[in-house]
């Protein structure tokens, strides 16, 4: 399973760090963070591939940093300079089949998902 933590409420310009515990998978290709705001589609935030290749949505590049521990048992998302538009439910996801290699920011390529953690940025 994938278990997220670290969400909460923060003022605009603030920072938060999300964590995702990853366990129970014999094969992991891509790991990533996605988000979904009310009335909007789920979108990628940042993902990491099997060769430590990183992918970011343009809206968060330079503000968010995705990382993982050496064992790929924990995925992190450091978020800085947060904006109200960053408010959403944030989900951790994994690709256990390799499907995401052609589209690492496409949520449809990820087959395992956590329950999500809410991030609210107040203006």
Number of H helices, E strands in the chain: 0, 11
Give residue-wise pLDDT tens across range 29-56: 999 999 999 999 999 999 999 999 999 9
Higher pLDDT, residue 70 or 41 = 41
Instruction: Give the pLDDT score at 26.
Output: 85
For the chain, the 3-state helix, strand and coil shares in percent, each to the nearest 5, are: 5, 50, 45
Computed over its alpha carbons, how large is the radius of gyration of the chain?
13
Give residue-wise pLDDT tens across range 80-121: 999 999 999 999 999 999 999 999 999 999 999 999 999 999
């Amino acid at each position: 399973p994938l278990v997220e933590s670290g969400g909460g409420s923060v003022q605009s310009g603030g920072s938060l760090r999300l964590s995702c515990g990853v366990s129970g998978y014999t094969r992991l290709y891509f790991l990533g963070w996605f988000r979904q705001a009310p009335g909007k589609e789920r979108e990628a935030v940042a993902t990491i591939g099997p060769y430590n290749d990183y992918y970011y949505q343009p809206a968060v590049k330079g503000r968010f940093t995705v990382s993982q521990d050496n064992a790929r048992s924990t995925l992190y998302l450091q978020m800085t300079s947060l904006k109200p538009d960053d408010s959403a439910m944030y989900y951790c996801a994994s690709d256990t089949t390799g499907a995401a290699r052609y589209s690492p920011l496409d949520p449809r390529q990820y087959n395992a998902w956590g329950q999500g953690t809410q991030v609210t940025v107040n203006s």
